[in-house]
C-alpha cells in the first residue's frame, strides 16, 4: 500500500452525482403524527441504519413495552425533548431516493414555536402541512399554510394523516381537500397537492399499500414520496433580475493570514476579484452591468471559479466576478444589470412583514442592525402597521410585536438597500434584525 491514495475513478454519469436537492420543511405537531411520518419516510425509504434502528427498538420497549417499533423516536433529538416528549427546535434530516436528495427541516407546530417554523421554511422549496383526518382543517392548518405563503413557498403539500382512523372515508378526505385548496388559493400559493396517508400503518407514504378505489394507482394519485420526487422547483428561481451582492473582495497581494505560510502572490498584484453568491438573474461575460449604490458602470470580464471560468452563472452559485474596468467595489455593493433603474431598487424606507423572535417586544421607534444580502446597516422601525392574529389570520392594529408575532412594519435604513420585494426574489427580499447590545437575531423580515 503506497502512501498516496489511488486516483479516483468515479464515473461522471453516476446518478448520485446528478441528483438534485429538494429542501422540504414539515409543519405539524406530535399530535398530527409528524414524527411518525418523518420516521416512516426514513424507514421505508431504507435510510435508517441498523444501529439507529436498534437504538429506536430499545427505546420503544423502554417507553411502550414490547411490541411495535415507535418510528417517531427516530427523530427525537435532544435529551430535554426525549424527557418531555416534545420537539423544541428545528431538526434537519437527510435522505436520498432515486435522482433526488432531500433536506428535511423538521419544525415543531404549536403557536409558541412559530419562529421555528419560519426559520425552517425560510430555506425550503416545499412545505408539508400535516392534517389529522379526524380533526379536519383546524386553526393550526390555516396558520401553517399562512406561514408557508408568507415565506414565499410555492409548493405546499397537505398530508392528510391518520386516514386509517377514519376508515379511509372518501368524504372526509374530499372535505379536507376542498378546504385546503380554498385556503391555498386565497393565500395565492401556486402549486398545492393533497395526499391521504397513514404514517403509522405505512400507507401511501413511501409504499402505496392497500388503498381504496377512490385513490387509484396512477400518476394523478402519487404516494407522498413519489410526489416529493417529481415536483418541479427549478423554475422557482428568479432568472430575470441580475443581482450579485459582493461578499468578499479577493486581493491576493493583501490580507490573509500573514503570520506564516508561504503563499506566493508575486504575479497577482493586479488581481481583483469580487466573490459572492448569485442572488438573481443570469451573469455572462461581456454583459454590461452597474454597481450599486455608486452607479458605476462596467462589463463582466470573467466569471471565475477554482474549476475554471464559466460562460453563465445563476443563483445560487458561488463565483468570483471580474469587471473590465478598475472600479472601486467592496463588500455590500451589488452588481445589477445595466438596464436596471437604480431608483427602483435602491431602498431607503421599506415596508416588510416580520416574524418577531425575541422575548423582548418590538416597539415603534426602536433601533436595530439590519442585515440584508451582504450589507449590515443601522435601521429604525418607524411604525408597526399591523399584527396578524395567528388564530383568525386577520390583520389588526398593533402598538408592537411580541415573541412569535407576525406583523407589518415600516423601517428606515441608514445605508440604502439594493433589494427587491420578497415575492420577486427571496434572496434580495429577505433580511434579519439584530439587537445591538445582545447581538441576538430578533426578527426575520420580508420586503413587501
321-340: which residues touch another protein (CB under 8 A)? 331, 337, 339-340
Element housing 55 (H / E): helix 50-64
28 neighbors 130 (Cβ within 8 angstroms): yes
Which span sits near another protein by CB under 8 A: 36-44, 47-55, 173-181, 202-210?
Answer: 47-55
C-alpha cell at 266: 508575486
First to last CA, the chain: 62
- Mapping DSSP to helix (H, G, I), strand (E, B) and coil, where does residue 430 land? strand
Residue 29 and residue 32: Cα distance in Å, rounded?
Answer: 5
- Mapping DSSP to helix (H, G, I), strand (E, B) and coil, where does residue 51 land? helix
# residues near another protein by CB under 8 A: 110
Binding mask 139-158 for another protein (x = CB under 8 A): --------------------
Using only C-alpha atoms, the chain has a radius of gyration, in whole angstroms, of 25
- Answer for which of 17, 171, 210, 286 binds another protein (CB under 8 A) is 17
Q: What are phi and psi of 206, to 5 degrees?
A: -105, -50
Alpha helix (H) ranges present in 65-206? 79-84, 114-122, 139-150, 170-187
Under rule CB under 8 A, residue 277 binds another protein: yes
How many CA atoms, within 13 angstroms, populate the side-chain half-sphere of residue 123? 15
- Answer for which of 250, 296, 361, 403 binds another protein (CB under 8 A) is 250
Under rule CB under 8 A, residue 79 binds another protein: yes
Residue closer to another protein by CB (options 78, 383) is 78
- Answer for which of 226, 372, 387, 408 binds another protein (CB under 8 A) is 372
Site for another protein in 173-232 (CB under 8 A): none
In DSSP terms, 441 is beta-bridged to 434
Under rule CB under 8 A, residue 266 binds another protein: no
Under rule CB under 8 A, residue 18 binds another protein: yes
- Answer for which of 31, 55, 294, 394 binds another protein (CB under 8 A) is 55
Which span sits near another protein by CB under 8 A: 87-95, 135-143, 156-164, 219-227?
Answer: 87-95
Residue closer to another protein by CB (options 118, 388) is 118
Crossing angle for the helix pair 139-150 and 170-187, to the nearest 10 degrees: 40
Site for another protein in 290-319 (CB under 8 A): 305-306, 310-314, 316-318
Under rule CB under 8 A, residue 111 binds another protein: no
Amino acid at each position: 500500500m503506497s502512501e498516496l491514495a489511488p486516483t479516483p475513478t468515479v464515473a461522471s454519469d453516476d446518478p448520485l452525482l446528478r441528483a438534485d436537492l429538494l429542501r422540504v420543511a414539515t409543519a405539524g405537531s406530535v399530535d398530527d403524527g409528524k414524527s411518525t411520518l418523518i420516521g416512516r419516510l426514513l424507514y421505508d425509504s431504507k435510510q435508517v441504519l441498523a444501529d439507529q434502528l436498534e437504538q429506536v427498538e430499545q427505546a420503544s420497549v423502554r417507553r411502550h413495552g414490547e411490541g411495535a417499533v415507535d418510528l417517531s423516536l427516530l427523530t427525537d433529538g435532544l435529551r430535554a425533548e426525549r424527557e418531555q416528549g416534545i420537539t423544541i427546535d428545528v431538526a434537519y434530516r437527510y435522505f436520498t431516493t432515486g435522482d433526488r436528495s432531500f433536506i428535511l427541516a423538521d419544525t415543531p407546530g404549536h403557536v409558541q414555536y412559530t419562529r421555528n417554523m419560519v426559520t425552517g421554511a425560510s430555506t425550503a422549496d416545499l412545505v408539508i402541512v400535516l392534517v389529522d383526518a379526524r380533526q379536519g382543517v383546524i386553526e393550526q392548518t390555516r396558520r401553517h399554510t399562512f406561514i408557508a405563503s408568507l415565506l414565499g413557498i410555492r409548493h405546499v403539500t397537505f398530508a392528510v394523516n391518520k386516514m386509517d382512523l377514519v376508515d379511509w372515508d372518501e368524504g372526509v378526505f374530499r372535505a379536507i381537500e376542498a378546504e385546503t385548496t380554498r385556503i391555498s388559493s386565497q393565500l395565492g400559493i401556486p402549486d398545492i397537492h393533497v395526499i391521504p396517508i397513514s404514517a403509522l400503518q405505512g400507507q401511501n407514504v413511501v409504499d402505496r399499500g392497500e388503498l381504496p378505489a377512490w385513490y387509484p394507482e396512477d400518476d394523478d394519485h402519487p404516494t407522498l414520496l413519489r410526489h416529493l420526487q417529481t415536483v418541479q422547483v427549478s423554475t422557482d428561481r428568479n432568472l430575470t433580475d441580475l443581482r450579485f451582492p459582493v461578499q468578499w473582495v479577493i486581493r491576493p497581494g493583501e490580507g490573509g493570514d500573514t503570520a506564516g505560510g508561504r503563499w506566493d502572490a508575486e504575479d497577482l498584484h493586479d488581481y481583483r476579484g469580487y466573490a459572492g453568491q448569485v442572488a438573481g438573474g443570469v451573469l455572462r461575460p461581456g454583459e454590461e452591468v452597474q454597481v450599486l449604490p455608486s452607479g458605476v458602470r462596467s462589463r463582466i470580464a470573467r466569471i471565475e471559479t477554482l474549476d475554471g471560468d464559466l460562460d453563465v452563472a445563476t443563483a445560487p452559485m458561488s463565483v468570483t466576478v471580474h469587471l473590465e474596468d478598475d472600479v472601486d467595489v467592496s463588500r455590500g455593493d451589488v452588481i445589477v444589470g445595466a438596464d436596471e433603474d437604480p431608483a427602483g431598487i435602491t431602498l431607503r424606507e421599506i415596508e416588510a412583514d416580520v416574524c418577531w423572535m425575541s422575548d423582548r417586544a418590538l416597539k415603534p421607534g426602536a433601533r436595530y442592525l439590519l442585515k440584508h444580502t451582504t450589507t449590515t446597516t443601522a435601521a429604525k422601525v418607524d411604525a408597526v402597521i399591523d399584527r396578524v392574529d395567528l388564530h383568525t389570520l386577520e390583520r389588526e392594529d398593533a402598538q408592537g410585536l411580541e415573541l412569535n408575532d407576525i406583523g407589518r412594519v415600516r423601517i428606515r435604513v441608514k445605508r440604502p438597500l439594493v433589494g427587491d420585494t420578497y415575492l420577486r426574489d427571496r434572496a434580495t427580499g429577505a433580511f434579519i434584525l439584530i439587537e445591538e447590545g445582545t447581538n441576538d437575531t430578533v426578527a426575520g423580515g420580508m420586503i413587501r
